[in-house]
Structure 1
Amino acid sequence: MQFRDPPHHIAPNPGNPRLTRRVQGTDQTGAVQDISVVEERPLTIYLNGQEIVTAMTIGDYPEYLALGFLKNQGMLRDGETVTGVDYDEEVETVVVRTDRPTNHEEKLAKKTRTSGCAVGTVFGDMMEGLENLRLPQAELRTSWLYALAKTINTTPSLYLEAGAIHGTVLCQGDEPLVYMEDVGRHNAVDKIAGWMLATGADPTDKILYTTGRLTSEMVIKCAHMGIPSLVSRSGFTAWGVEIATQVDLTLIGRMRGERFTCLAGEHRLIRDAAPGANALSASR
């Protein structure tokens, strides 16, 4: 695949009326409250003529979600040509078409429900393709991490508007490139993967920042995307750390302003900025 520089940035759009709804309720004192809540709707993904999955999603960037999901499930192989991605908003369906027939009945029969929000699902062998994978040796500077934490935590988002949502951000150095949100953190990651596939973005110098837990699923998806560093403000699972070590992925969690814990891939870290006294604290 021919890589090229990302053509544009994508940021959250909390003002999109399709993504939230105003709902009236009461607080602990009985006072009436009018708040925004996140919408969720089904999206059915087809690969050629085969129905693959129905995902619950907020409904933005459905084409990227479909592409990224299929790529991360190993249903779109390296070198495979995508000839079309068609989204039908009325029936909430995306059809991805390739230049050759596909059949994933065997993979679909082997289904694993993951720890992801909104009932994440993976198909087939979760570890397939990771046996000999070693991620690129791109550096990761602490100054970038501190700047990213501040920028991402203060960016207008659906989370700040309505909560009940996860965010994932593709970054390069200290610059956020693509910021996706969804009710499930796995959906947000798949949207990033779909954008990268569609634009031909080079993963080797990228950082993936997520608000979700660093589970085996998240580590596996990041590894399959070819991104060498995965950062979260949340915590780890033991299997996630084990897989990150196996594929040589730098795994950083509990990122709170200028504090973090690295449990894999320490050798990429360049500590070029000492934590300051006024670290930005944020939780999500």
Structure 2
Amino acid sequence: MRLDGKLADRRGGIESATEKGKSSSKKSKRRQKKPLKAVQTLFNTCKEVFADGGAGTIPSQEDVRRLSSILDTLGPENVGLNPNLPFFRCIDSERPPSITYLHLYEDSKFSIGIFCLPKSAVIPLHNHPGMTVFGKLLFGSMHIKSYDWVDSESSEIVAPTEGLCLAKVKMDAVLKAPCETSILYPASGGNMHRFTAVTSCAVLDVLGPPYSTPEGRVCTYYDDFPYSNSSGDTVLHGEVDGYAWLKARAEKPDDFTVGSAEYRGPKIVNK
């Protein structure tokens, strides 16, 4: 069967226009920006949030919410992790499990990194002087115990022995992923904390600003002891639960070891 010449011409014109439309659509799609990787979005937001920050500077509530909302969406797949990687295995049963740190980024304003903990691994009680810290449990279960200092001058607390300082428990609980981002501030929110891996787990940390020995932001480790009123102090009105005495250690615990490994997740582009 033969098509009428005019109909053939019209059909050819329609097909030609359709092909042009398809070609134009493809070019348009190529011109569209690809959606940013979650890690890149995190980095870009950190760069904005901590741009004017420094020791003791707390981001605005809006910026805290903005950064938290991004971290809340992150899971292990966004950073190239899964529980079967060697980082999460306890190799030597006679020694405390070693922890692995994956470095993503650091400058004078903020740092991003991931701690990989095998089951039963412990990050000892330590502080974050002058820092605002965002922590996101990517997978697994982790017990967190955190403290804030009690103002000894206003409460007239008397330590039973020299070197002890009173602290109030901020958190003493097990977190299980998925869960919301934890936030601590220079003087509140649980600035001193200890992590214990109930199962193998990974936690992403954002520090603003990061530790810096030249600038005096040095990590201090602590031992904690049960609070008692043995000194005769009555300022706490007999309240014992929820408090502890903390004593700074001269050095980090001998059984605490952290190794480093290459981060193999989506790369961060610093434009």
Question: Into which bin does the TM-score normalised by the smaller protein fall?
Answer: under 0.3
Given the two structures, how large is their TM-score scaled by the length of structure 2? 0.27
Rg comparison, structure with higher value: 2
Q: Which has the higher contact order (CA 8 A, sep 6+)?
A: 2
